[in-house]
Structure 1
Amino acid sequence: MPDTSLPKTAADGDAGQGGGPVPRSTALVLLLLVILLWGVNWPVMKEVVGHMPPLTFAASRLLLGALSLLAFAAATRQLRVPHRGDLPLLLSVGFMQMTVFTLLVTVAVQHVPAGRAGILAYTTPLWVVPLALVFLGERVGWLKALGLLVGLAGVLVLFNPSAFDWAAPPVLLGNGLLMLAALIWAVNIVHVRAHRWIGTPLTLAPWQMGMAALLATAVALALEDVSRIDWSGHLVVLLVYNGPIATAFCFWAMVTVNRALPAITTSLAMLGVPVVGLVVSALWLGEPLTLTNLAGLGLIGAGLAAVALADTRRA
């Protein structure tokens, strides 16, 4: 059974200021870049939280990202006040995806290895599939369903519940926060896909990330000693990567991809992020890359290949 796309009025936005989503080829390139950059970012975040408090780090990356998006939107003459019809999207992406998701994963990565954290945070297909079936009317053909099952089997193998320390409260907290973050992101993916767009991702992104930066800064100032930062050239380099690249560019690119591609396809493709994160964490942080990890990576790769083949046949 082939996939069905959304009605034009829901997926493509208005024909005026917002126009339609980017071409599928552009969306796929952006998706690949996000997978690579966010995969590398998991060990980067693990490294950064060793030099500064986690909430302060989250506020810093959002502030740097907001300033980068503001400068780019102004330079390209796309800085404008959001239309009233886009306010639900501004609040959804700015609060749920940029603020809450970022705060949750930044706190969780203190207690969970970077590779494992990436796996749990990208279990979004568990939630996106039923939400997209009910609220978006998307269909899952047999090939994509097979890819979903194989990919999630790979996630289960990588998670390896038998090796989990169920008696350690910080570990339980970290893993729970990551699963909650995955659920929040899934809801946001479906909302972005269903919204009737008026502006564009770039015209909304500076406002969304600016709001997220203000909220995260308020939380950090209230709960942490922001002076407790171990400044170094190494930390500055990591923050530069994390702010303008892994935050500003990737969040904008992800919203652009969410708008252009089916929600189920997007969520399944994001399983590539923990694959990259696990490999980079092994090379950079020395986290073990065991036979179990390799088996899980192989299953996720096979699942992604099945999804890609399903979308290629549909296109």
Structure 2
Amino acid sequence: MHLDRRSLVLLVILTLAWGINWPIMKLGVAHFPAMGFRLLCMAGGVLALGLALRLRGESLRMPPGQWPSVIKLAIPNMVIWHLLAICAVKMLSSGRAAILGYTMPIWAVVWGLVLFRERIGAAAWAGIACALAGTVLLLSGEIAALAGSPGGTLLMLGAAAGWGYGTQMMKRSKTELPVGVLTFWMLVVTLPFLLLGTLLFERGWRLPNAVEWSAIAYNAVVVFAFCHLVWFMLARRLPPVVSGLSMMFIPVVGVFSGMWMLGEQPHWQDYTAIVLMFAALASVLLAPLLRRWRDGPRAA
């Protein structure tokens, strides 16, 4: 396990940027077709990411034989996640959607155990237990609301399960494409699915208003052009449990930013969940560093 200072800083920025996006998405889809909103966000993200890569001097050319790998990675990481998650956000509050969506690390562990026979250390198990307890606490005050929105709940859990599987596949990917180019083409692969879903299932298209355009711009530049690029870079460099559990703090940011932006009030479960999420992060991120520091003098 290796987590340098740069990766840690990127994880913090990623957590804040993605967490704040949950209430932003809720504002964006409140009166606008959900898949249409995501389609505009992703189209803008493709343009922004493509421009950024070209300015860095990277080629967007796809080498021969790479399309099967790109499509295989795009289906769980992009298509399943974005199609199901944006529809669920329409049905659930931003906080509940974030909580359910970021059960992803638990799904990643389940896929690892069932499909890949991974062995997980005691510290990681402790982190998973803390993260799961925090998630249950955050959900405990919303049971009645979740029971009233079974479709949204199932859609978000399906999105999280797909993303968890995609995280495992990303770690095991043999593609030699640069992360930026891989992210760009996975977004391109996802666009036709969003367009088809919009044409088949949504009505009431119109031009977005100022709030919706702001949400689209934030998603295009920050979420798609930055967060996705950083996430897939870290997913390929770090073990799935580490990168997954690092994301478990995002729903906490989502819940509290939703309270700030949408006027919700915190409960004792929210504060206790924050402590549990910090414990989960410490068990995965800090424990190995402390163990390495402790064993260093002996090795010397």
Asked whether the 8 Å contact 1:91–1:208 carries over to 2, the reply is yes
Q: Distance in 2 between matches of 1:108 and 1:151?
A: 22
Asked whether the 8 Å contact 1:28–1:257 carries over to 2, the reply is no
* 2:31 counterpart (37, 51, 60): 51
The answer to whether the aligner puts 1:222 opposite 2:228 as a matched pair is no
Asked whether the 8 Å contact 1:85–1:198 carries over to 2, the reply is no
* 1:96 counterpart (76, 85, 96): 76
Q: Which amino acid aligns with 1:251?
A: H
* 2:171 counterpart (185, 193, 209): 193
**1:152 is matched with which residue?**
132
Asked whether the 8 Å contact 2:91–2:152 carries over to 1, the reply is yes
Which deviations, in whole Å up to 9, do the C-alpha atoms of 1:227-276 show, x marking residues without a partner? 234x3323222211111111221111111010011111111111011011
Q: Distance in 2 between matches of 1:68 and 1:181?
A: 25
Asked whether the 8 Å contact 1:61–1:242 carries over to 2, the reply is yes
The answer to whether the aligner puts 1:184 opposite 2:162 as a matched pair is yes
* 1:209 counterpart (173, 182, 187): 187
Asked whether the 8 Å contact 2:49–2:224 carries over to 1, the reply is no
Moved more, 27-36 or 258-267: 27-36
Q: Distance in 2 between matches of 1:61 and 1:311?
A: 38
Deviation at 1:27, TM superposition (A): 2.8
Which deviations, in whole Å up to 9, do the C-alpha atoms of 1:66-101 show, x marking residues without a partner? 111111122222123223454344113433222221
The answer to whether the aligner puts 1:131 opposite 2:108 as a matched pair is no
- Change in Cα spacing, 1:131 to 1:95, as seen in structure 2 (3 Å) is closer
Q: Which of the pair is proportionally richer in helix? A: 2
Q: Secondary structure at the match of 2:7?
A: helix
Deviation at 1:167, TM superposition (A): 5.3
Asked whether the 8 Å contact 2:26–2:90 carries over to 1, the reply is yes
Please give the TM-score of this superposition, normalised by the length of structure 1: 0.85
The answer to whether the aligner puts 1:243 opposite 2:223 as a matched pair is no
Which deviations, in whole Å up to 9, do the C-alpha atoms of 1:35-88 show, x marking residues without a partner? 111100000000000131101011111111111111112222212322345434
Count of aligned pairs between the two proteins: 292
* 2:267 counterpart (261, 276, 290): 290
Q: Distance in 2 between matches of 1:166 and 1:113?
A: 10
Q: Which amino acid aligns with 2:214?
A: V
Deviation at 1:186, TM superposition (A): 0.6
Q: Which amino acid aligns with 1:38?
A: W
Which deviations, in whole Å up to 9, do the C-alpha atoms of 1:12-39 show, x marking residues without a partner? xxxxxxxxxxx84333322222111110
**1:301 is matched with which residue?**
278
Q: Distance in 1 between matches of 2:106 and 2:214?
A: 35
Deviation at 1:159, TM superposition (A): 1.2
Q: Distance in 1 between matches of 2:218 and 2:142?
A: 35
Asked whether the 8 Å contact 1:119–1:158 carries over to 2, the reply is yes
Q: Which amino acid aligns with 2:30?
A: G
**2:230 is matched with which residue?**
253
RMSD: 2.2
- Change in Cα spacing, 1:137 to 1:33, as seen in structure 2 (3 Å) is farther
Deviation at 1:125, TM superposition (A): 2.1
The answer to whether the aligner puts 1:67 opposite 2:47 as a matched pair is yes
* 2:244 counterpart (267, 272, 288): 267
- Change in Cα spacing, 1:28 to 1:92, as seen in structure 2 (3 Å) is farther
Q: Distance in 1 between matches of 2:143 and 2:187?
A: 37
**1:35 is matched with which residue?**
15
Identity %: 28
